[in-house]
Amino acid sequence: MIRFEQVSKIYPGGQKALTEVNFHLQRGEMAFLTGHSGAGKSTLLKLITVIERASAGKVYINGHDIAHIKRQHVPYLRRQIGMIFQNHHLLMDRSVFDNVALPLVIEGFSLGEIRKRVAGALDMVGLYGKERHYPIMLSGGEQQRVGIARAIVNKPALLLADEPTGNLDPKLSMDILRLFETFNDAGTSVLIATHDLGLIARMKYRTLTLRQGRMIGGEADIVESLSD
């Protein structure tokens, strides 16, 4: 689903964010991406969503090299990736319904279809019946779940989450992770960036660790060699 080959990223100004990163996330796999702040987790996610482009190496999404993807193709790539952010990136002046419906509106679904899918997505995250609320009226955990509903409403093949539990207490964090597990069970590939090591320890999934821009621990390589 995601494959990095010798990927490096140097920001303008010379700051090295990633150095020769290799890893492979299987289709249908769920994995954690960890590391200290500044280790390059966010940069790695930005390369997958083409918010940033790699300075060297190759990034494959679904077997397609996106390092040199044309600018006008980027939106179509992003439609296949559900993204969840720590600060949820919700539109505060729009209702929950409008927020969740946004990817469907962009894709061009009819209103009837949009209603059906938004209701389904909100049901999954446990916010059924809150369509008409505004994000400001919801708690932090609920806002995060609106963001998740927006990410899954278009049934993407890949879910990326950047510190999805950053602002939540352990109980809510666990709920959110369970939610990701259900999506994963349904066949979606999931990559979760987090520095909450306690959370990861309680789960059985593969962990990719970044330290100062390098992927460390042989685990990734082992899995990759097994899959090849």
Partner 1 sequence: MSPSSLTRSKLPLSGRIVMFFIRHIQHATASMGELWRTPVSSIMTMAVLGVSLSLPAALQVLVKNVENITHSWSSAAQISLFIDGSRSEQSIQSLIARIKVYPEISDIKYITRAQALAEFQQQSGFGDALSYLDENPLPAVVIVTPSSRYSTPVGARELLAKLEQEPEVSFGRLDIEWLEKLQALVNVLERTVFGLAALLILAVVLVIGNTIRLAIMNRRNEIEVMKLVGATEAFIQRPFLYTGIWYGVIGGTLAWLIINLLVWFLSGAVTTFIGLYGSNMQLQSLSFSELLQMVCAASFLGWLGSYLSVRQHLRAIEPS
Question: Binding of partner 1 at residue 72 (CB under 8 A)?
Answer: yes
Give the number of C-alpha atoms closer than 13 A to the C-alpha of residue 147, restricted to the C-beta side.
Answer: 26
In angstroms, give the least distance from the CB of 193 to partner 1. Answer: 16
- Taking CB under 8 A as the binding criterion, the range among 71-79, 171-179, 192-200, 220-228 that sits at the site for partner 1 is 71-79
* Residues from 79 through 98 that contact partner 1 (CB under 8 A): 79-80, 83, 89-91
Question: Is 180 a residue that touches partner 1 (CB under 8 A)?
Answer: no
Question: With binding defined as CB under 8 A, does residue 102 bind partner 1?
Answer: yes
Site size with partner 1, rule: CB under 8 A: 28
Candidate list 10, 56, 67, 69; residue touching partner 1; CB under 8 A: 69
Q: Whole-angstrom Cα distance, residue 147 to residue 154?
A: 12
Which one among 26, 62, 207, 212 touches partner 1, defined by CB under 8 A? 62
Which of 36, 53, 73, 116 is in the footprint of partner 1 by CB under 8 A?
A: 73
Q: Does residue 112 interact with partner 1 by CB under 8 A?
A: no
CB of 112 to partner 1, least distance (A): 12
Least distance from partner 1 to the Cβ atom of residue 201, Å: 31
38 binds partner 1 (CB under 8 A): no
**In Å, what is the CA distance from 160 to each residue of 114, 136, 157, 194, 211?**
22, 24, 10, 11, 20
Q: What does the block give as tokens for 220? A: 């990734």
By CB under 8 A, residue 63 contacts partner 1: yes
> Is-contact 74 51, C-beta < 8 A?
no
Which residues would be at the binding site for partner 1 (CB under 8 A)? Answer: 49, 51, 61-64, 69, 72-73, 75-80, 83, 89-91, 102-103, 106-110, 150, 154
